[in-house]
Structure 1
Amino acid sequence: MMLPQGQEVFHCHYKDLLDYEEEQAGLRAVPKLTKAHIFPNAFQKMSVKLAVQATSAMEFYSEQEDCKKLHGSAATSEFTRTLNKLFDCLNSRRPDHVRFNEAQHIAVLKDSIAWLDNWEKYIQTLPTQRRVCFLSKQTCGALRITLHSSVALIESLLSSGFHYVLVGNFGQDPLERFFGIVRHVAGDGGQPTVQHFLFIYGMLSVNNLVRPPKRASVEGDGPQLLLKLQGLFDKKKPASSQEQFHYTNDQITN
């Protein structure tokens, strides 16, 4: 990935960081770093928290003489820090996160908009074959919409009398978890076709595929059908439309 001023971000720096960490005995700079951070599966790709936990360790090891693979990782580290600050602003869910630094969060969001715009303008100056070293068109557009809409909502709510805004509540985590499950079930790289997605969606609508872990606080006996065909024939079909409405609800909830 190519950044302004010719700086380059390499995915291999994260892999080198993990490899060097695994070689260390005793205390580690990033004890939570795992292969899931570097090579996430289809479900883990929908988890943003795995993407923002490696900046400080990368800076630390880049200064170590015996870790030569990370000596040129300054751009990768700075790129990760920029995204980390942005995620912190977009994931605020507790009042103490923003109550006294709302202006700072707005400034970070506006700086991120300027950073994205400058980055895109720089990419447009490169030869066509080098322009692939950028975000996809869909990702860039979605990120820009998210940033602009978040700033507009925060400023509108604050001007309307709100003391602070928890931007994390604007998120779509439940939807992302659902798409993560769909991608995980799909296999084949986690990129289902439209027909495949509709099939999985229908399957998840009537079948519980999630089993609780051992010693969990909930019970579960494996996959259970939420709607059985036999139940549709056990009861007499209602005549009126109102009875039909209650009948359908009973079939789904019972």
Structure 2
Amino acid sequence: MVVRYEFFSNLYEHEKHKGLRKCHKLTYSHVHPTNFERMNVRKAAQLLSRSVAMALNHYRNLKETADKFKGSEGTEKLAMLMNKTFDVLNGRYYAEGISNNINHNDKNKRTVKEMKWATLNAMLTVLYITEKEHESREKNSSSPSEMFCSLTTLKALRLTINSAMALTEELLQHNYHTVLTGKMNQDPIERFFGIARSIDNTPTAHSWLHIFRILSLHNLTKTVVKNGNVDNEDELKVLVGYKKCFVDRFKEIEEERKQAKLTLKDKLLTELSIRYVDHIENQVSSSDVTNDELIYDICGYLLHSRSEVLECRKCKSLLETEESQLPETFAPKNYTLTRTYGYLKLASIQMFKCFKKVESLVDKHFSNNDHIYIRDAFEQVIDQIGSLNLTPLSCDEHPEVLPFLIMEYVQIRFYFESEKFRDLNLAKTKTAVHTEKSYKQVIGMDKVILRLHSLTDTKAHLSKPLEDDIEKIADIIRAEISGAAHSQYARDRTTNGINGVAREIRALQCENRVLAHKTAISTAQHSGWLAASYLNLPTCSKLIATGESISVYQCSTHEHSSFLTPKRKERFPVV
């Protein structure tokens, strides 16, 4: 089987305009990454994930999209295998570790180590087959002409897998109970790089030195300087502080938000209570298999993440169900049952029907392209949901359960829509940058030459001397145009280089000023004399920091007159 990248692109293009998606984390930068985004491990892991593999399988078996995803079996298997390999090599807590315990979820009752080793051996086999296929490839073969990675990367990946397996075997033989492979693939140097990149994601060589100094100064300013001419006895009191103002304002906004949410929930409960029905009929005509599976999966997620609604047994019996209680013809359960490892919750059929009607209103609201300009859109959607005829999914003692779950569902849908809108705008921006063409005036040409195509009689023939003259003129014109274009290109490159150097110098100067300012402020909190020495101020200068402003205190010189008395000379006799 051949893995083709075009299926990932087809998957993104098929789902990018939908509100509910199988791969809601897949964005434009995953499928069309830049040179910097290619190094992002998180994006690679999300692209080669289990959800992407399941989505490829789903759309390949769907009649409407079968042609678009025909032949994607190899791509699906690779994504699933890479996902399992990531999980094996990235174990960070006990449940993901490798041990000799028997896995009771396995039908063959294999140990955890045997199952993990089967995944890694399958990955090594795929690497070996791919490498041999590339070496024996013929010129006119249909297989790709280039490897998916360099030979160095291939050897490093194989070395990582074999080293992890060998080290785990050795630890288990020395009576270690569980091995966490995630600790093997992250060392202190890499962790330090992560801390540095958290300050600046793309540091240059110069800014890296600044970041290193900033991280060092955080500890240096807290220590007492010993054996120096400075002390830590200077006390600094800030006259005005904004922290309390910010905290008080945050508390006020939080109270207003809670009150507004409570008002909306009470209003929704009042409207729904009037229109409650005993049964909701199936909407077969407007049924979408993919949409139904995703709605049902979100319902299960609500029951898992908002578990407080399941504390009452009566409410739990109306909201949650078991696999054995669902009919075999109930198709929306298939996606959740495929994803689960035994811990996902299954929603009841009545809950699914209620939230399917809610989704129809939410999707209708988002189908309008101008919905982003509507003020108080969340409140408007909640008001529209209040006019639906739904079934009560709670007991008489907890009538607020259904309004609470509906508001949480709408909040999740608004989050999905905001992520989709941001991704589409980012895709448009990147596409505009790639397709934009700038036409510049050619400097160095004294005249503009136009080439005219005239309609002449097909029987007319030009004389030989005239043809030769035309060819000579054309050669001269082409040479003049090429020379002028080359001259303009050289000027543009020189100008861009000078501007780039000027921008770098200006950026470095700005960074130096900012760093000096921050260093002086942080150091002046403890020692004004030391802070003054960092700024190369004159001797006997002291900095006093108040907020983000600094005051300089400097000693003044005074003239003193002194007189020297000449020493009286004494004479001694010479013997």
Query: Structure 1 residue 167: deviation in Å?
Result: 0.4
Q: 1:125 aligns with which of 115, 125, 136?
A: 136
Query: Structure 1 residue 171: deviation in Å?
Result: 1.6
Alignment of 1:98-177 (within 5 A): 98=97, 99=99, 100=101, 101-127=112-138, 130-172=144-186, 174=191, 177=194
The TM-score, its normalising length taken from structure 1, stands at: 0.67
Match of 2:571 in 1: none
Q: Is the 8 A contact 2:11 2:56 kept in 1?
A: yes
CA 1:206–1:227 in structure 2 vs 1: closer, same or farther (change >3 Å)? farther
Which range is displaced more, 16-25 or 121-130? 121-130
Q: Is the 8 A contact 1:55 1:81 kept in 2?
A: yes
Q: 1:185 aligns with which of 202, 205, 212?
A: 202
Query: Structure 1 residue 184: deviation in Å?
Result: 5.5
Q: 1:52 aligns with which of 43, 48, 51?
A: 48
Which range is displaced more, 55-64 or 27-36? 27-36
Match of 1:77 in 2: 76
In structure 2, give the amino acid aligned to 1:79.
L
Match of 2:212 in 1: 205
CA distance, structure 1, for counterparts of residue 32 and residue 214 of structure 2: 29
Query: Structure 1 residue 112: deviation in Å?
Result: 1.8
Match of 1:30 in 2: 23
Q: 1:10 aligns with which of 1, 4, 13?
A: 4
Match of 1:19 in 2: 13
Q: Is the 8 A contact 2:29 2:37 kept in 1?
A: no
Q: Is the 8 A contact 1:91 1:167 kept in 2?
A: yes
Q: Which deviations, in whole Å up to 9, do the C-alpha atoms of 1:116-145 show, x marking residues without a partner?
A: 122211211103695413321121011011
| SS of residue in 2 equivalent to 1:70 | coil
CA distance, structure 2, for counterparts of residue 47 and residue 97 of structure 1: 19
CA 1:82–1:198 in structure 2 vs 1: closer, same or farther (change >3 Å)? same
Q: Which deviations, in whole Å up to 9, do the C-alpha atoms of 1:197-222 show, x marking residues without a partner?
A: 644533432358xxxxxx9xxxxxxx
Match of 2:558 in 1: none
Match of 1:39 in 2: 32
CA 1:13–1:64 in structure 2 vs 1: closer, same or farther (change >3 Å)? same
Q: Is the 8 A contact 2:12 2:27 kept in 1?
A: yes
Match of 1:190 in 2: none
* Higher Rg: 2
Query: Structure 1 residue 86: deviation in Å?
Result: 0.7
In structure 1, give the amino acid aligned to 2:77.
E
CA distance, structure 2, for counterparts of residue 138 and residue 175 of structure 1: 25
Match of 2:534 in 1: 231
Q: Which deviations, in whole Å up to 9, do the C-alpha atoms of 1:54-96 show, x marking residues without a partner?
A: 1111110111222222122111111111111111101111111
| SS of residue in 1 equivalent to 2:21 | coil
CA 1:232–1:149 in structure 2 vs 1: closer, same or farther (change >3 Å)? farther
Query: Structure 1 residue 36: deviation in Å?
Result: 3.2
CA distance, structure 2, for counterparts of residue 120 and residue 112 of structure 1: 12
In structure 1, give the amino acid aligned to 2:159.
I
Gaps of 5+ in 2: 102-111, 216-246, 248-513, 521-530, 540-575
Percent identical among aligned pairs is 23
Q: 1:61 aligns with which of 46, 59, 62?
A: 59
Q: Is the 8 A contact 2:60 2:69 kept in 1?
A: yes
Q: Is the 8 A contact 1:59 1:77 kept in 2?
A: yes
In structure 1, give the amino acid aligned to 2:47.
A
In structure 2, give the amino acid aligned to 1:61.
Y
CA distance, structure 1, for counterparts of residue 12 and residue 18 of structure 2: 10
Gaps of 5+ in 1: 1-6, 187-196, 209-214, 216-222, 237-254
Query: Structure 1 residue 39: deviation in Å?
Result: 2.8
Query: Structure 1 residue 115: deviation in Å?
Result: 2.4
Q: Is the 8 A contact 1:110 1:151 kept in 2?
A: no
Query: Structure 1 residue 232: deviation in Å?
Result: 7.5
CA 1:227–1:175 in structure 2 vs 1: closer, same or farther (change >3 Å)? same
In structure 2, give the amino acid aligned to 1:114.
T
CA 1:176–1:231 in structure 2 vs 1: closer, same or farther (change >3 Å)? closer
CA-atom RMSD in angstroms: 3.5
| SS of residue in 2 equivalent to 1:87 | helix
CA 1:142–1:176 in structure 2 vs 1: closer, same or farther (change >3 Å)? farther
CA distance, structure 1, for counterparts of residue 61 and residue 214 of structure 2: 52
Match of 2:92 in 1: 93
CA distance, structure 1, for counterparts of residue 2 and residue 79 of structure 2: 12
Query: Structure 1 residue 21: deviation in Å?
Result: 1.3
CA distance, structure 1, for counterparts of residue 154 and residue 199 of structure 2: 24
CA 1:86–1:128 in structure 2 vs 1: closer, same or farther (change >3 Å)? farther
CA 1:74–1:112 in structure 2 vs 1: closer, same or farther (change >3 Å)? same
The TM-score, its normalising length taken from structure 2, stands at: 0.32
Structure with the greater relative contact order (CA < 8 A, sep ≥ 6): 1 or 2? 1
CA 1:145–1:90 in structure 2 vs 1: closer, same or farther (change >3 Å)? same
CA distance, structure 2, for counterparts of residue 45 and residue 233 of structure 1: 41
